[in-house]
Amino acid sequence: MESSKRPSVVTFVGWAYVLVSLLMLLSGLMGIAAVILVEAAGREGLPKALEGAPAMFYVTLVFIRHFGALAFLQVVVASLVLFCAAKFMRLRAWARSALELFTWLSLLGLLSSGFLVVKAWLKMTAEMPPAMTAPLSSGSFTLLGAALWGVFMLLLAACAGLLLWALRSRTVREAVS
């Protein structure tokens, strides 16, 4: 039986990717459902480009306008990760490489999007009137929000780093070779 020869780290990492891919799949399907509902209601509510708006507004607008395609892409990627996770637990070397590539790309996307969100938060909160940040001072509110988002991104990056460390470990490499 394959599972008796499979190291526990392979099982743990494989199931972690199954869980991540199922969450991605659910999120992508919910995104597709949201697009269908928005299409049914009409697209009049979409924001228009504003002259002089912050750059983050335009980035967000691109995501909103292409949300359906992005949700579909997420479903496709989630399905591929789920397939690779299953093959990884069957000790296929190519699946380990595919999961490692997915994790590196995810880490890059996570860190770049985290940077954009913190940058947007800093700009947005700097322009808020003090009454909107009460009971904190506007500077404290800005720093607290940026710090919380930064910690959250670092925790997610640490999880991805642990998965990369496990995928690149000698135990896993020997198991799939």
Q: What percent of the chain has pLDDT over 70?
A: 86
In whole angstroms, give the CA distance from residue 157 to residue 146: 16
pLDDT value of residue 26: 97
Q: What is the DSSP string of 86-101?
A: HHHHTT-HHHHHHHHH
Name 98's Cβ contacts closer than 8 Å, sequence gap at least 6.
Answer: 80, 84
Helix (H) or strand (E) holding 126: helix 93-126
Q: What is the pLDDT of residue 83?
A: 98
Are 21 and 78 spatial neighbours (Cβ–Cβ below 8 Å)? yes
pLDDT digits (tens, 9 = 90+) for 92-150: 999 999 999 999 999 999 988 888 888 888 887 777 777 666 676 777 878 888 899 88
Assessment of whether the complete model's pTM goes beyond 0.75:
yes
pLDDT surpasses 60 at 1: no
CA distance readout (Å), 44 to 37, 86, 120, 128: 13, 43, 25, 27
d(CA 98, CA 134): 48
What residue type is 138 in one-letter code? S
* 158 compared with 41, residue with greater pLDDT: 158
pLDDT at 61: 79
> Please, which residues have CB within 8 angstroms of residue 17's CB and are 6 or more apart in sequence?
81, 82, 84, 85, 88, 99, 163
pLDDT at 76: 97
* Residue 143, both tokens: 């720093």
Model confidence at 53, pLDDT cuts 50, 70, 90, reads low
